[in-house]
Chain A
Amino acid sequence: MTEFTEEGVRAAARAWLEANWSPDYGLVEWRNRLIDSGWGVPHWPRAWYGQDMPSGLLPVVDEEFGRIGAVTVATAGIRRLAAATILEHGTDLQKEKFLRRSLTGEDTWCQLFSEPGSGSDVAGAVTRADFKGNRWVINGQKVWTSSAHHADWGLLLARTDWDAPKHKGLSYFILDMRQPGVEVRQIRQMNGHASFNQVFITDADVPPEHLVSEVGKGWAVTTTTLMHERRSADGLRNDSAGYDRPGRCYAEERDEIATVQEPYKWYPQRRGRVDLVLQRARETGKLGDPMVRQEIARLMILARTAEWTARRARVAAAAGRPPGPEGSLGKLVASHVARAAARVHTQLSGADAMLAGEDGPMGGVIAEILVSVPAISIAGGTDEIQRNIIAERVLGMPKEPNTDATRPFRDVPRNAVR
């Protein structure tokens, strides 16, 4: 059994990888081996493919995977949030059915939370779930749903009680996306990509065993998913393998990235690409400009301290503190970093910052940064909502008086559907 110190984990991970890793495995075959060995998700419980390892030690494991060049379990996209949520709230049956196939990458997920009338106020969902006969029948519309166009399963938030106050009338379901009642339409974004969708749900079917937690307890489950989403914005996890080497496993992973992750190839750009700043400063001959140097240094201070803060939160979590709202710092700070980086990239590129595609700097990457960073301040909870969370839950500042959370949901004022 692995000793949970940095040295112990490093030695054990290295030994196991050296004995087992080969790029000649099929991708799913290799990931199944990882899952069975406990090295796919070592921070998960032993009962479910893990080793109960403190998550603060995960970076050490990641480093060992990186060192030897081994492919990891599938982490990209919503499947990571789905897995974490099901692990925490799911029934054994659900864990059995969904966890492994999410980790192998065979199943793809999407998060059906936001609606035209409820984004920040995600608990204001009006998609309805009615129990009829022996099934749940779902009707409504979701929006901004990343991955919906290729997802197998959706994490669905729906209203089951219209007379209860809004947070108490919600339930959480796993929706089969491949059924006639689910229609997905892609939405084009300002950066030209189409990674999110409108989802129209008409008399879609959910079997009772795909209810997560209990009827009316959907909000607590949603909070878990969102917490994981916001914490993952801390930028520690690097989920692109990008291996350029021969071997079946690499090739299949490249295929996976090319197809399933194609719509998300702009995601690194929305974080501002701090990693490109020094290179750009050299390329543009501006590295010696004192004003530019100041701005780059200022950006680096922000980016590095953000990273260290995230690491401190991880270490604290590893020391046994439950996942708390401190994750919201990472999300807000990531947005500051992205904006500051966009500013610096603009300064470095000068007039070239007007150019896109093959005419633009770095074959269009800089342009893509400039038109993608606004997303990071909106997706997964806006900056304003993050500030509210920090103020109210971390700092204990009183909530604004609200009128919507206490009365029956059907009486809460809202927009007519757009």
Chain B
Amino acid sequence: MKFGFSGEQEEFRGVMRRFLAERSPTTEVRRLMETPDGWEREGWRALNTQLGLTAVHIPETHGGQGFGYSELGIVLEEAGRALLCAPLLATALAASAIMNAGTAEQQAALLPGIAAGDTVATLAVAEDGGGWEAADVRLTATGTGGGWRLDGAKGYVLDGTTADLIVVLARGPRGLSFFTVAGDAAGLSRRALRTIDTTRRLARLTFAGVAAAPLGAAGGAGVPFARTMLQAAAMLASEMVGGAERLREDALAYAKMRYQFGRPIASFQSLKHKAADMLVDVELAKAAAYYAAAALDEGDEELGMVCHLAKAAASEAYLQTAIHAVQIHGGIGFTWDNDTQLWFKRAKGSEVLFGDAHAHREAMMRHMAA
């Protein structure tokens, strides 16, 4: 549904929000962001299996819950709101790629582990320089008699040092393919990258003759890859609007409580206007994220356009909301101890992850003008 959620969906959201508020308060976010991996297996496993987070959009035949992107979008929106430190987005998108590209047997082999929360997975697309389009892929896949070997490097890989399973986009003699590689594969080296947003970890992966299996027909990833990136854009947008709304609400609450000049700062017209503008930004971006998620579920004919639209809108709305939120807090908003900075940095990172607003606007135009 593009313009509203069902009663069940609202209920589902309510459950998510309650659990995540309890399990991912900012004290926990701050604790996890100081850990080497940025998240912890035990805690994540417990939460994931209890709520079935990575099972949401996986079909019941593969151990999942059989819901769609609208529901996954709700999960991610709430995770973004709670700034959950977990390989959720990474694993969900890797599952999407497997569903888009894998054969029935491959799906049956790989998805149950993800749905059950045993497998942490990720998607490796961009390379040095950071393009997220098919043309940017240089990592090579070479046939080796019975199998394939991968050579090259991937950057900006979500949870790349901790994932058990990596879905890698590579270029072979017949074109693009997704390959699956185990996290501990021989010839694979993984290096954590220092990030502005330490609640979300990235890695650089180097492949030196790594043995790998293609998902689906070798060279046939063009369409599945394009679809995966639309899902990635829409799902990241969902996560982003969740964070933006949280920032907006916290800033508003602060403005109502803070006194200067003998009155609440919320009584100053300039802050009222800012708060109203923030509401407009966030609501519009939410409308886009919801529409895109529903479009994925409904196979909408404008799908390509709307997923890019959602990410472009979210990139700008989240960052702008974060800038306003810091500003409304004044000096305290610039401190480490104030939580605003945590979302500010998430907004900053998400702004360019899977392509910045310019890239998505351009992609949107390609779909619209096609």
Contacts and interface: CB of A to CB of B under 8 A. Distances in A.
A260 interface: no
A132 interface: no
B348 A359 contact: no
A170 to B, nearest CB: 15
A117 B265 CA distance: 12
Interface in A403-418: 403-404, 412-415
Contacts of A354: 156, 195-197, 202, 348-349, 352-353
Given A351-B126, A355-B202, A403 B262 contact: yes
18 contacts: A117-B259, A119-B260, A120-B330, A187-B336, A188-B337, A346-B352, A352-B130, A353-B352, A354-B156, A354-B349, A356-B195, A356-B196, A359-B193, A359-B195, A360-B196, A371-B345, A378-B326, A384-B327
Nearest to B127: A351
Given A350-B356, A371-B348, A378-B327, A189 B261 contact: no
Contacts of B257: 415
Interface in A80-116: 114
B327 A374 contact: yes
A281 to B, nearest CB: 14
B81 to A, nearest CB: 20
A119 B331 contact: yes
Interface string A345-382: 01101111111111110001001001100110111001
Contacts of A400: 268-269
B323 A190 contact: no
Interface in A165-182: none
Given A347-B356, A351-B352, A358 B194 contact: yes
B96 interface: no
Nearest to A196: B331
Contacts of B344: 190, 371, 374
A413 B263 contact: yes
B335 A415 contact: no
Contact of A188 (B323, B333, B336, B351): B336
Contacts of A196: 331
Given A117-B259, A374-B327, A382-B327, A355 B334 contact: no
B352 A350 contact: yes
B358 interface: yes
Given A339-B323, A354-B195, A378-B327, A187 B335 contact: yes
Given A291-B358, A402-B261, A374 B351 contact: no
Interface string B48-85: 00000000000000000000000000000000000000
Contacts of A144: 331
A87 to B, nearest CB: 28
Contacts of B41: none
A374 B333 contact: yes
Q: Indicate the member of A124, A349, A351 with the most B CB atoms within 10 Å.
A: A351
B262 A413 contact: yes
Nearest to B155: A351
Contacts, number: 141
A190 B334 CA distance: 5
Contacts of A413: 259, 262-263
A311 interface: no
Contacts of B196: 353-356, 360, 367, 370-371
Interface range on chain A (Cβ under 8 Å from partner): 35 or more
Nearest to B325: A374
Given A354-B195, A356-B194, A403-B263, A346 B356 contact: yes
B194 A357 contact: yes
A188 B336 CA distance: 5
A379 B193 CA distance: 31
B124 to A, nearest CB: 13
A387 interface: yes
B86 to A, nearest CB: 18
B71 to A, nearest CB: 28
Dominant SS at the B interface? mixed
B262 A402 contact: yes
Given A358-B194, A374-B333, 18 more contacts: A114-B331, A188-B335, A347-B356, A347-B358, A349-B352, A350-B131, A354-B349, A355-B202, A356-B195, A359-B195, A371-B344, A378-B326, A383-B327, A400-B268, A400-B269, A403-B263, A404-B263, A415-B258
B146 interface: no
A404 B261 contact: yes
Contacts of B265: 120
Interface in B179-227: 193-197, 202
Contacts of A114: 331
A143 B335 CA distance: 12
Contacts of B258: 415
Contacts of B330: 119-120, 378, 382
Interface string B129-168: 1111000000000000000000000011000000000000
Contacts of A415: 257-259
Contacts of B21: none
Interface string A186-215: 011110100010000000000000000000
A187 B196 CA distance: 19
B110 interface: no
A403 B264 CA distance: 12
Contacts of B260: 118-121, 124
A384 B270 CA distance: 7
Nearest to A118: B260
B96 to A, nearest CB: 20
Nearest to B262: A404
A378 B338 CA distance: 15
Contact of A189 (B202, B262, B334): B334
Interface string A323-360: 00000000000000001000000110111111111111
